[in-house]
Chain A
């Protein structure tokens, strides 16, 4: 796919670390600082999520990195260089920035919006064109939409264009302020997954703001929890945060359902799946019936010649001579090994089903996930042991 594409034009970009060194921000006229002595370091190529209640200084922290807000005290280092030593305009052109309200230019087409920074950098037309093509593909926007205006796009599409625009000049650092805040929950889940897939390809250093702890746990390699008064409550990996909250504030913020939240750190492939009795189209149903008593799943799953799931045999189907090509019960939902466990569970619950076939990246059957597997996992001691965050693991 487009895995090498973004770098083919620009050469690989080293994603620098971003370090806050006792950074304080006091807005003129305010008694309390909006951000107080923030000290943390985001390693290159990782996603750091800033999360916290409204007014806790998340946006302020992010905007000091590209000097949209001036630092009052302390310093921010990108790589080994202080942002204070860089000209704001240059610094900003080197960093992707997705603002809280997307902020697409309403008078510019999708392509022109994406081309903003490359044009500011004076790229020639051919190079800009090629880059726009590439980015549309990367964020999965139909190239036919390139000449549309933002008002003609759905919220999710606008969001993706916003991300493409921020990626345009292949920055090493991306600043994303509630990038999925304006998208409805079902689309948000898709965008999050796409974004994680994208990050696995582009490996930027990402500062990501959200006030949704679930999003933070899902997206972050590390999470910075900020509290009122712009103070850092805890800076840790999602697993650490869930297992060892630093104080009551963090514990409250993370929520009581910590075990459940850990599902966000797992993928379906991390758990032992069940095997369903399988039947091929045209096979005698008697053979399929014979498998049922021994099986973990009490239904027969029909697969095609390539082993793609077609559906479950219903009781009526079992009465017939041979296995039909269109079984009585559709296979929905079909989960993927790469799916985040929490999303898989919610898909199961939403479909009001206890079993769902799981396929690999080629769409071939890999096993069956059931609500029981998940609930067993949640009550096992394993649920409280160290896990690597989902985003760190390779994606398919």
Chain B
């Protein structure tokens, strides 16, 4: 009896859109039935179902960090021009960061509705503080004599910003992006509360099934590591002088 049902499930899985708690309660391999620590067999056959949520979450993270970076860069450049604005921006981005994430989703729901938009808004708001701070710190740490030399050679504010200040701030800016991205991957597992799906949806679909938690959780960690690696590579490519100086 049991093998027959198991076989049926296997055949059906790729075809049918199963209710989320279907697997646990209706599967009948011993491993799954006993809810052991990790059922490799089940994982191998059901891995497909994690691919889409994982990709969706990766996209969500990318878009959120990109939006956060754009806004933070805008704020940082404004306060770079107009230092009087800096305390306001620091305060603002700081306050956003203190709102509990799930609460943030629910606060936004009446305004932006259930879906990806809400998640992107909330997640990018969280990245603002760290990215903004790092851009500001990076710009502030540009050696005064490099700026002075630039001005003395007839660079405009704009030349100076793009040719001297921003390139020299890259290490700190990317450091901010890395922290922001890794924490956004973690936060994005809660994004399904806002209706944006992702690996969180898989996790919460069956919190009692250990194999499910391990796969979904593991994928989220892997995603954080991959994002971090990509940014690390970008940083290295963008700052060849740092390695040259050390050699």
Q: Is the CB of B244 within 8 A of A149?
A: yes
A91 touches B167 (CB 8 A): no
Residue B3, interface by CB 8 Å: no
A143 to B156, CA, bound (A): 30
Complex-state Cα separation, A101 to B156, whole angstroms: 21
Complex partner residue of B149 from A93, A97, A149, CB under 8 angstroms: A97
* A90 x B244 contact (CB < 8 A): no
* Contacts A104-B149, A105-B146, A120-B159; A152 near B154 (Cβ below 8 A): no
CA distance A152 to B240 in the complex (A): 12
| Residue among A92, A101, A105 making CB contact with B151, cutoff 8 Å | A92
Partner of A106, one of B143, B152, B154: B143
Check A103/B146 contact, CB under 8 A, given A68-B151, A97-B153: yes
Is A116 part of the binding interface, using a Cβ–Cβ cutoff of 8 Å? yes
For the complex formed, measure the closest distance between the CB of A19 and the CB atoms of chain B, giving whole angstroms: 21
Q: For residue A319, which residues in chain B have a CB less than 8 angstroms away from its CB? A: none
Report the separation of the CA atoms of residues A101 and B143 in the bound assembly, to the nearest whole angstrom: 11
Using a Cβ–Cβ cut-off of 8 Å, how many residues does chain B contribute to the interface with A?
22
A108 shortest CB reach to chain B, Å: 8
Q: In this assembly, does A99 line the interface, its C-beta being within 8 Å of a C-beta of chain B? A: yes
Q: Inside 8 A of B167's CB, which chain A residues have their CB?
A: 107
A102 at the interface (CB under 8 A from B): yes
Within 8 A of A (CB), among B128-151: 143, 145-146, 148-151
User: Which residue, B153, B167, B168, B245, has most C-beta atoms of chain A within 10 A?
Assistant: B153
**A285 an interface residue at 8 Å Cβ cutoff?**
no
Interface residues of A in 304-361 (CB under 8 A from B): none
**Are B145 and A102 within 8 A (Cβ)?**
yes
- In the complex, chain B residues whose CB is within 8 Å of the CB of A210: none
A117 touches B148 (CB 8 A): no
CA distance A151 to B247 in the complex (A): 10
> Taking the complex as formed, is A3 at the interface, i.e. its CB lies under 8 A from any CB of chain B?
no
Which residue of A has the minimal Cβ distance to B166? A107
The closest CB in chain A to the CB of B247 belongs to: A152
Complex: A101 Cα to B152 Cα, angstroms? 13
B20 within 8 A of A: no
Tell me if B239 is interfacial: C-beta within 8 Å of chain A: yes
- Report yes or no: A106 in contact with B168, Cβ–Cβ below 8 A: yes
Closest B-chain residue to A119, C-beta based? B163
Which A residues touch B154, using CB under 8 A?
88-93, 117, 120
The verdict on A148 contacting chain B, using a C-beta distance below 8 Å, is yes
**A68, A97, A100: which has the most chain B beta carbons within 10 Å?**
A97
Asked if A107 and B239 sit within 8 Å, CB to CB, the answer is: yes
When distances are taken between beta carbons in the complex, the residues of chain A under 8 Å from B153 are 92-93, 97, 116-117, 120, 165
Are B152 and A68 in contact, with the CB atoms below 8 A?
yes
The 3 closest A-B pairs by CB, nearest first: A103-B149, A151-B245, A92-B154
User: Can you list 6 A-B contacts with CB-CB less than 8 angstroms, sorted by A residue number?
Assistant: A102-B145, A103-B143, A105-B164, A120-B155, A148-B244, A152-B247
A: which residues have CB within 8 A of B?
66, 68, 88-93, 97, 99-108, 116-117, 120, 148-149, 151-152, 165, 175
